Amino acid sequence: MSEKVLDRIRKLLRLAADKGATQEEAESALLMAQRLMVEHGLNESQVEEAPTPEEMKIEEGVAEDIGRTESWRGRLGSVIADNFRCKSFWRQMRTAKPIRSLLVFLGHAGDVAIAKEVYQCATEVALREAGSYCRSRGRTGSRQDPEGRAMWNEFLIGFSVGLREKYRSQVQSNKWTLAIVTPEDVKRRAETLGLRSLNHNVSIGSPEAREAGREAGKAFVPARKISNNPKKTLLLKGE
């Protein structure tokens, strides 16, 4: 394979991830890079540029600091961790008054930074959409409105389900499977810490709300480009 072709593809992918590029420039660069890869029978491992030593360090990054754990936040963190080469877990600060719960991502430094920002952006969108859904049905979603609160929670759980489906579809259609595999050293660190999955099952109280949340999750696209890694940029865009 010509080094000239590889260099061309890498330049296109860097342009696609450049935060200074317009949306049109980024999408055009991604499309051209993908076409060249298909034409020359290349996969992501062949065009990937080696990460810096700093990016390879394993670290923990706090994505959220809240008063108590909430199942939908754990599920959302799990979806994003799985798709950005990280592990996610709750850490309870029992010595704090009041007790605080931290949602934490574990992974290589570069991956953790991206996962945190995607999570925060997704949380903002999910909460906004859940509030809009509840209001459209005459509910507030507050704790003083039990039925509305159940609707609110189901919508948010559905959002994480839809987002997982979206990422799975993108990975399959773009053949970027290796881009989201959690590194072995991160897995070993997670095992050492005894981390458990946050993606536990929750009973369905409002199928309609969960389905609405699922559709919102499938439609989620961050308002800004987040990743400096071209392959991860592919996972942040619409299909």
| pLDDT of 30 | 74
d(CA 159, CA 75): 9
| 3-class DSSP assignment, residue 200 | coil
In which residue are the tokens 């309870």 written?
A: 92
Per residue in 32-41, pLDDT tens?
777 777 777 7
| pLDDT of 238 | 40
| pLDDT of 91 | 85
| pLDDT of 233 | 47
Single out the residue of 159, 80, 91, 151 nearest to residue 125, CA to CA: 159
Task: Return the domain boundaries, the chain.
Answer: 1-49, 57-236
Tally DSSP H helices, then E strands, for the chain: 10, 3
| pLDDT of 154 | 92
Per residue in 170-202, pLDDT tens?
777 665 555 567 888 888 888 888 776 665 555
Report if pTM > 0.75.
no
What six digits make up the tokens of 30? 């991604």
What six digits make up the tokens of 164? 């997982």
> In this structure, how many other beta carbons lie within 10 angstroms of the beta carbon of residue 126?
25
Question: Considering Cα of 220, then 183, then 36, then 15, what sign does the dihedral take?
Answer: positive
Rg (CA), the chain: 19
| pLDDT of 224 | 44
Kind and range of the H or E run holding 106: strand 100-108
What six digits make up the tokens of 98? 């009041």
| pLDDT of 194 | 79
User: What is the 3-state secondary structure of 168-185?
Assistant: HHHHHHHCCHHHHCCCHH
Write the single-letter amino acid at 7: D
Q: Which mean pLDDT values do the consecutive 10-residue runs of the chain (239 residues) have?
A: 75 74 74 76 67 75 84 91 90 78 90 88 93 90 82 93 88 62 86 71 76 94 53 45
